[in-house]
């Protein structure tokens, strides 16, 4: 190459770099100029009570899917509403960035039931702005967070007519009930969904002012145990003391799930657990954390858990077994003296990588059966399950995510794991062979699954900017 040629090549590359920067700035300007419209779009989606668990809401769930699809169509993507045995999946793609990476963006438009309704300050499906937050069921989990990616892609296409990468959106309506029909969709469309990396915003920042990239999630096993006793409720004076009370029996069974050190007693429970490495433990311990404040934030005075592990380790990287719901006997006003005919408990185990939900379910079922006292019978039902997940924290995609977040939030993110579960993450790894960037814009104190769910409006906008930056950062690293 002559000096002249070198200088021309150099100028071209400078020109391309500055063109990229100008495009990026223009996209961010579009997003900043349209913030109030973005909030209105979020409010519209939040008004739709898309509760996937409750069959009466089936038409609402479909309306939410159609709303998301319309947003993506208007943005300029090719879209499809995919029917499943349950709620529909919204699929959308824009694949015109030749030779650039392809990103699969996953989110969910379904929400948890809003109960208990009387605990909401403003109604769950009447989104209200108060104190810099938007309050409604789904504000953070996951309508608000999911929408940030829809808005950023729309802004790129509106401003520049293109995207620096290819995108494939998969927005489902059954995440909150275990994503039962998603696997079939992913399985039958492996070729169409082929991507280099997945992006999900359905987790949390580490704390206010401390954004995070999450590289691990726990899995889950959800099941139910019913203890059956006498053929109907009986007078507890006439029969009490002479037959097994199913409610008492269930309480004993639940009590036997843990020992005094908080260790789960289901045989083989810890056999496959991937132990924490010293460097991970050091990484967790280096994060700012005040245990007293943590307990106070949920209104308790002291913690509990497996001996030998910190609260953070217990939540992010150790398996658990918890009762989520307990039903037995008379629940109405005043006393009623009966031996109930049955008792039931909904139980979930949170799993860490390498544990198998189905294997544990078998073990838990046998444990409960073996320990059920005579005079009662255990019925065990497995609801759903998914494995835990840990991603490569040093990939170029992680570096892209960190740079995008730092630009939008003004602070570099910390690297964390989380205790919650997002079933699709392990499936994407298994079926498409790709890792997921878990980029949460919410906070764990946003009351997810609880009354008065909310999402910081500032973080909604920052998340949208970070998303817009992420597409360029991923493209930059692919060259
Ligand atoms: N968004 C949550 C998961 C989450 C929240 C992960 C905060 C990390 C931090 C998700 O919608 C959820 O609640 N998932 C369920 C999955 C289950 C029903 C299969 C969960 O974890 O309980
Ligand atoms: Zn969610």
Q: How far is CA 362 from CA 211, 259, 345, 352, in A?
A: 39, 20, 17, 17
The phi, psi pair for 220, rounded to 5°, reads -150, 150
Output the CA 455–ligand 2 centroid distance in Å. 13
With b for 16 or more beta-carbon neighbours within 10 A and e for fewer, the 335-371 pattern comes to eeebbbbbbbbbbbbbbbbebbbeebbebbbebbeee
The reply to whether ligand 1 has any atom less than 6 angstroms from the CB of 473 is no
Local structure of 201: helix, strand or coil: coil
The reply to whether ligand 1 has any atom less than 6 angstroms from the CB of 141 is yes
The reply to whether ligand 1 has any atom less than 6 angstroms from the CB of 418 is yes
The reply to whether ligand 1 has any atom less than 6 angstroms from the CB of 107 is no
Output the CA 142–ligand 2 centroid distance in Å. 5
Output the CA 25–ligand 1 centroid distance in Å. 34
The reply to whether ligand 1 has any atom less than 6 angstroms from the CB of 220 is yes
Digitized pLDDT (tens) for each residue of the chain, 479 residues in all? 677 777 666 766 666 678 888 999 999 999 999 999 999 999 999 999 999 999 999 999 999 999 999 999 999 999 999 999 999 999 999 999 999 999 999 999 999 999 999 999 999 999 999 999 999 999 999 999 999 999 999 999 999 999 999 999 999 999 999 898 999 999 999 999 999 999 999 999 999 999 999 999 999 999 999 999 999 999 999 999 999 999 999 999 999 999 999 999 999 999 999 999 999 999 999 999 999 999 999 999 999 999 999 999 999 999 999 999 999 999 999 999 999 999 999 999 999 999 999 999 999 999 999 999 999 999 999 999 999 999 999 999 999 999 999 999 999 999 999 999 999 999 999 999 999 999 999 999 999 999 999 999 999 999 999 999 999 999 999 86
Closest ligand to residue 146's CA? 2
Beta bridge partners of 226: 344, 379
Closest ligand to residue 142's CA? 2
Domains of the chain: 18-217+388-477 (3.40.630.10), 219-273+319-385 (3.30.70.360)
pTM: 0.92
The reply to whether ligand 1 has any atom less than 6 angstroms from the CB of 448 is yes
- 244 vs 241: CA distance, rounded Å: 8
The reply to whether ligand 1 has any atom less than 6 angstroms from the CB of 175 is yes
Mutate to test the pocket of ligand 1, among 144, 176, 312, 317 (most ligand atoms within 8 A of CB): 176
- Contact in structure between 198 and 123 (CB atoms under 8 Å): no
- Read off the DSSP letter of residue 258: B
Output the CA 421–ligand 1 centroid distance in Å. 5
The phi, psi pair for 356, rounded to 5°, reads -110, 120
Output the CA 75–ligand 1 centroid distance in Å. 28
What angle separates helix 35-46 from helix 58-75, to the nearest 10 degrees? 160
Tokens read off for 30: 């579009």
């Amino acid at each position: 190459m002559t000096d002249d040629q070198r200088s021309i090549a150099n100028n071209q590359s400078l020109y391309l770099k500055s063109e990229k920067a100008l495009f990026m700035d223009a996209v961010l300007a579009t997003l900043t100029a349209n913030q109030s419209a973005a909030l209105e779009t979020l409010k519209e989606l939040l008004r739709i009570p898309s509760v996937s668990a409750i069959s009466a809401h089936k038409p609402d769930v479909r309306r939410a899917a159609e709303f998301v699809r319309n947003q993506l169509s208007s943005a300029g993507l090719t879209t499809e509403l995919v029917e499943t045995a349950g709620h529909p999946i919204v699929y959308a793609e824009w694949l015109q960035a030749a030779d650039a990476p392809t990103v699969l963006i996953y989110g969910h438009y379904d929400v948890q039931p809003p109960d208990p309704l009387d605990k909401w300050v403003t109604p769950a499906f009447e989104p209200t702005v108060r104190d810099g937050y938007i309050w409604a069921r789904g504000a953070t989990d996951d309508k608000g967070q999911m929408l940030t990616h829809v808005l950023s892609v729309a802004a790129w296409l509106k401003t520049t007519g293109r995207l620096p990468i290819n995108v494939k959106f998969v927005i489902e309506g059954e995440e909150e009930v275990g994503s039962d029909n998603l696997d079939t969709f992913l399985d039958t469309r492996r070729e169409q969904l082929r991507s280099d990396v997945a992006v999900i915003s359905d987790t949390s920042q580490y704390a206010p002012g401390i954004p995070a990239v999450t590289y691990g999630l726990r899995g889950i096993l959800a099941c139910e145990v019913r203890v059956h006793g006498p053929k109907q409720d009986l007078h507890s004076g006439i029969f009490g003391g002479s037959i097994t009370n199913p409610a008492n029996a269930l309480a004993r069974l639940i009590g036997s799930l843990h020992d005094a050190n908080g260790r789960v007693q289901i045989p083989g429970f810890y056999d496959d657990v991937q132990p924490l490495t010293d460097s991970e433990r050091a990484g967790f311990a280096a994060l700012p954390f005040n245990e007293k404040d943590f307990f106070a934030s949920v209104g308790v005075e002291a913690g509990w858990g497996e001996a030998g592990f910190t609260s953070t380790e217990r939540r992010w990287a150790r398996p658990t077994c918890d009762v989520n719901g307990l039903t037995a006997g008379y629940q109405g006003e005043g006393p009623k003296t009966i031996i109930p005919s049955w008792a039931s408990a909904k139980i979930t185990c949170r799993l860490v990588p390498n544990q198998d939900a189905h294997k544990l379910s078998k073990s838990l079922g046998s444990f409960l059966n073996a320990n059920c006292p005579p005079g009662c019978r255990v019925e065990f039902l497995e609801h759903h399950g998914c494995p835990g997940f840990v991603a490569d924290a040093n990939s170029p995609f992680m570096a892209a995510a960190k740079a995008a977040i730092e630009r939008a939030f003004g602070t570099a993110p910390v690297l964390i794991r989380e205790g919650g579960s997002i079933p699709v993450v392990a499936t994407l790894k298994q079926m498409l062979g790709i890792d997921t960037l878990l980029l949460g814009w919410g906070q764990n104190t946003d009351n997810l699954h609880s009354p008065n769910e909310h999402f910081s409006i500032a973080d909604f906008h920052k998340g949208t900017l970070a998303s817009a930056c992420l597409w360029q950062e991923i493209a930059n690293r692919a060259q």
